[in-house]
C-alpha cells in the first residue's frame, strides 16, 4: 500500500511538471512560429505574392512543443506501430516490387500511365532495354535510415556525423555538400526531379558540365528519376540517363514507377486532403517506412523561422524561395509530426552535438 501511495504521488508530481513545461513553452514561444489559437502559421512567401498560409491546429502545436522537449531524450521506435505501417504500405503500394520500373512490372507491350492525368505511353523495346529485370530493392531491409531534406534548419546543426552513421541515407535533388559537418556526405539513394533538371540544369539541352559537376559527389549513390510524372518530363529523364551512362553510372539509375506514386497518393487521400501530387520527401519517407526499422528525419522544416523566431532559409545551400505550388507542405509536415508522436520515426530538430 505504501508503495502504491508513493507511485501515485510520483505520477501526480510528474503530471504537474509536464503541464508546467507545456504552459511555460507555449508562453515562451507565443511570438514565434507557434500561433495563437485563432492565428495562422506563416510559411515561405512565394513569387507573385503567393503565400503558404495554413492553420496549424492546437493538436499540432502541442506536438511541436513535445518535439522541442524530447530531442535530448533517448528515443526508440514503437515496433508495433512501425510494423503496422509497414504491413499497410506493403499491401497498398509494395515499394520492394513497385518503387521503380522493371521488365517485370512493365512488360513489353504494356502501358505506363503518367502520374498527372490519364495519358499513357506504350512500353517499347528501347525502354525495356534500360530497365532492370527485377527491382533492386526487392530484398531491401535496413536497421537505421536517415532521410535528409534540404531545409536551412540543417545549418549549424552539427548533424553530419550522425547522418553518416545511418545504414541508408536518402537525399534529394543533388544538393551541394558544402557544409559536411551539418549535412554529412554519405548518400545511398538520390532523387533527381524534373523540376531540378529544368531550373538548375536548363533542361539538359546544353551545359551538361553543370550536371556532371553536381553528380560527382554522389557517384556511390543509386539514383531515382521520376521520368513519367508528365509527358514533358520524359525527354529530360532520358538525357539525364544518357549523361550518367557516359559517366559510368548507367547501371545505378532507375526510373520511379508512376504506379507506385499513384498508389501512395490513393492510400493517403483516404485519410486527409492532399495536393495534386506528393513531394519527393513524403514519397521516400513512406518508402523508408517499408524498408527501415529506425527512421530519422533531418532538414524537414517548412517554416520561414525556427522555434526561437530566427530566420530559416528554404534551402541550406542558397537563398532561393519555393518556385511551385504543386505540394501541400503543411499537410505533409503535420503528418511527419503525427508519425513522430506515434514513435514511428524520429524527427531531428536543432543541434545533434
* Domain range summary for the chain, segments of one domain joined by +: 2-69, 79-347
Q: What is the DSSP code (8-state) at residue 37?
A: T
**Residue 30 pLDDT:** 33
The DSSP-derived string for 295-341 is EEEES---BSB-TTS-B--SSSS--PPP----S-HHHHHHHHHHHHH
Active site residue 327: yes
Closest CA to 47 of 266, 341, 321, 339: 321
Is 183 in contact with 169 (CB distance < 8 Å)? no
**Residue 160 pLDDT:** 98
**Residue 113 pLDDT:** 97
Give the three-class secondary structure for 285.
helix
Indicate the pTM of the whole model: 0.84
Which positions of the chain have pLDDT values less than 70?
1-58, 61, 270-276, 323-326
**Residue 284 pLDDT:** 98
**Residue 254 pLDDT:** 98
Give the three-class secondary structure for 180.
helix
The mean pLDDT value of the chain amounts to 83
**Residue 275 pLDDT:** 59
Is 97 in contact with 256 (CB distance < 8 Å)? no
**Residue 46 pLDDT:** 37
**Residue 190 pLDDT:** 98
**Residue 198 pLDDT:** 92
**Residue 334 pLDDT:** 85
Cell 511541436 -> residue: 64
259 grid coordinates = 504506379
pLDDT in tens, 117-176: 889 999 999 999 999 999 999 989 999 999 999 999 999 999 999 999 999 999 999 999
For the chain, what's the residue count?
353
**Residue 48 pLDDT:** 31
- Tell the CATH superfamily of the 79-347 domain: Glycosyl transferase family 29 (3.90.1480.20)
**Residue 67 pLDDT:** 76
Q: In the chain, which ranges are E strands?
A: 41-45, 51-54, 111-113, 120-122, 142-148, 168-172, 189-191, 222-225, 253-255, 292-298, 346-347
d(CA 206, CA 53): 38
- Select which of 144, 202, 230, 327 is catalytic: 327
**Residue 3 pLDDT:** 35
Is 193 in contact with 226 (CB distance < 8 Å)? yes
Is 275 in contact with 115 (CB distance < 8 Å)? no
Burial category of 212 from C-beta neighbours within 10 Å (exposed 0-12, middle 13-18, buried 19 and up)? middle
User: Which residues share a beta bridge with 43?
Assistant: 303
**Residue 22 pLDDT:** 35
What's phi and psi for 220, nearest 5 deg?
-95, 0
Is 34 in contact with 67 (CB distance < 8 Å)? no
Amino acid at each position: 500500500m505504501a508503495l502504491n501511495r508513493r507511485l501515485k504521488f510520483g505520477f501526480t508530481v510528474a503530471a504537474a511538471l509536464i503541464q508546467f513545461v507545456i504552459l511555460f513553452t507555449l508562453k515562451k514561444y507565443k511570438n514565434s512560429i507557434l500561433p495563437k489559437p485563432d492565428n495562422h502559421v506563416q510559411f515561405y512567401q512565394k513569387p507573385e505574392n503567393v503565400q503558404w498560409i495554413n492553420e496549424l491546429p492546437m493538436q499540432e502545436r502541442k506536438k511541436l512543443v513535445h518535439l522541442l522537449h524530447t530531442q535530448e531524450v533517448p528515443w526508440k521506435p514503437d515496433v508495433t506501430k512501425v510494423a503496422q505501417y509497414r504491413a499497410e504500405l506493403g499491401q497498398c503500394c509494395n515499394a520492394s516490387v513497385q518503387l521503380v520500373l522493371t521488365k517485370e512490372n512493365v512488360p513489353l507491350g504494356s502501358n505506363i500511365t503518367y502520374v498527372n492525368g490519364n495519358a499513357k505511353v506504350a512500353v517499347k523495346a528501347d525502354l525495356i532495354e534500360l530497365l532492370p529485370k527485377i527491382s533492386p530493392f526487392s530484398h531491401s531491409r535496413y536497421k537505421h535510415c536517415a532521410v535528409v531534406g534540404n531545409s536551412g534548419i540543417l545549418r549549424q546543426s552539427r548533424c553530419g556525423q550522425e547522418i553518416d552513421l545511418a545504414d541508408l541515407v536518402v537525399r534529394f535533388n543533388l544538393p551541394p555538400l558544402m557544409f559536411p559537418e551539418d549535412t554529412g556526405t554519405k548518400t545511398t539513394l538520390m532523387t533527381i526531379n524534373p523540376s531540378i533538371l529544368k531550373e538548375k540544369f536548363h533542361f539538359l539541352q546544353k551545359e551538361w558540365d553543370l550536371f556532371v559537376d553536381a553528380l560527382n559527389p554522389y557517384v556511390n549513390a543509386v539514383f531515382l528519376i521520376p521520368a513519367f510524372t508528365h509527358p514533358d518530363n520524359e525527354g529530360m529523364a532520358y538525357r539525364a540517363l544518357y549523361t550518367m551512362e557516359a559517366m559510368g553510372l548507367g547501371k545505378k539509375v532507375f526510373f520511379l514507377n508512376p504506379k507506385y506514386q499513384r498508389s501512395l497518393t490513393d492510400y493517403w487521400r483516404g485519410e486527409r486532403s492532399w495536393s495534386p501530387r506528393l513531394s519527393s520527401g513524403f514519397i521516400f519517407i513512406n518508402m523508408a517506412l517499408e524498408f527501415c526499422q529506425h527512421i530519422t528525419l533531418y532538414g524537414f522544416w517548412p517554416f520561414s523561422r525556427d522555434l526561437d523566431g530566427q530566420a530559416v532559409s528554404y534551402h541550406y545551400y542558397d537563398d532561393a524561395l519555393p518556385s511551385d505550388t504543386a505540394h501541400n507542405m503543411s499537410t505533409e509536415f503535420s503528418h511527419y509530426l503525427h508519425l513522430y508522436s506515434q514513435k514511428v520515426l524520429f524527427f531531428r530538430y536543432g543541434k545533434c552535438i
